[in-house]
Structure 1
């Protein structure tokens, strides 16, 4: 990692405030606007971050956020497994993110109903079992219906960066990322929303030329999408470039006799600066964190387990799988266009 102090400040602000322009970033980072523009251009060009437009699928027909994880037979090479799964499983529109290592993997999906997810899971289990890919157990699944669950972070890297860069920022607000507020979209709104999701870096002029809408209409609708719960923009850093070497995936089942207080967001206690994603419902949670070293992971893991046990929230330790980011392959990288297209018929 060879970033200057200015570059660290600007990159952190780009991740923390993904829709901010150069002037706004300059104010937040206390760096000249011209310097911000030059640094942003260089960081993007060198792949330090990418922009993702996340449609608020819970408001346009999706009912479920789903995590699937499995352990695999390490005798079968990862390349062979990917050759099979990319065609038969990852191709499903519902799967937006998938990551794998030699002996394990997980995916994240969104679905309009449980039937679609169950069908994919059956195909996954049948495919893996038939080819001898599974170690001993079936793929495990955690389902979070939006109406009875909360997603406190979703690929939010601002906190790990704040810690890594030593940024002085005390903003620790944690909100539900996928708040329900059902939407009805016009034909033009559907076309524009899908186009932004597919090509998040296109400007209003380019979108206008592509869709045949005026730049004024594009600008007005983009503001509406961002302000009224149709769409969220996030910037994701290249964690390998920034020194993160481990990813930890937690599947936590709470003690049914003493779960955290869901209504009062009790489970937020276990969220720390290394947490990039957390989804929870009354008796279950998925947490994903990134770490700069094994020691950093162990320290974070100890704190999480300590809080879970001190509060009496678990009867047994959570399942934790550690991924070495140098050996991990991102099979599908936050591709929301297929599922939003399926839901909206863009």
Structure 2
């Protein structure tokens, strides 16, 4: 038995056959004949000095040696495939995979991305809307827009975007019905529970404390998705504590208004994140500049808001 590794083609044939538990299906996957695949596995067994498969009647099973070999070979090919795809992406400046939460994708990226597409017709944008933190290498992600506290993450380059705040927002018609903070006692309050993890909380109860109003802020419909809460406010169903990034376009275009001067400034914010060293790759840099330009377009909309830091609101 040699200490040298068998040929890669033999290991690949074994990995496919062990995964499918079928020589025929493995041969189909590898685009070879069953006879050619059997020959490769036999050469691996000769190299190892022991069988890796039990040839049964119209079936196969792994031997003890095959069961010992299969997990490591599968992992090795997965690692090799990941490394190959990552290297290919270094030469691909025409496809940009962006991941962000569903609410940010729906309320910020989707209404604007046609502007980026028009300015960069050579870049094919792809979106993955998920709250799961995708892996840049394994999931083939180029850029992530993440919400949370500013923090250094090993191997990642991060750029904080505009500061984030929340305040009551509503349709212009709703603002006529509820012209003062005191009148909100009679309004339908829409609750966005997507930021309920923040401490201290930045919700209706916190805003009423900021205004010195002893109102019960527990009533009203609740949404786990911020975009759904904003959609309800846009439909005139009530008044929501709107997050800057998710309502600023509607404020800018007049579909929503923020009639009261006070907002709660959050410690958390959105960040533009990519792998360290990738921030200046042409398609990533183009997308970063576009995001910053889009943020700058609407910064003046809420300049008049008096922002009180969340930590400064008494419990």
Report the TM-score, using the length of structure 1 for normalisation.
0.20
- Structure 1 or 2: larger strand share? 1
Which structure has the larger Rg?
2
Choose between structure 1 and 2 for higher RCO, CA contacts under 8 A separated by at least 6 residues.
1
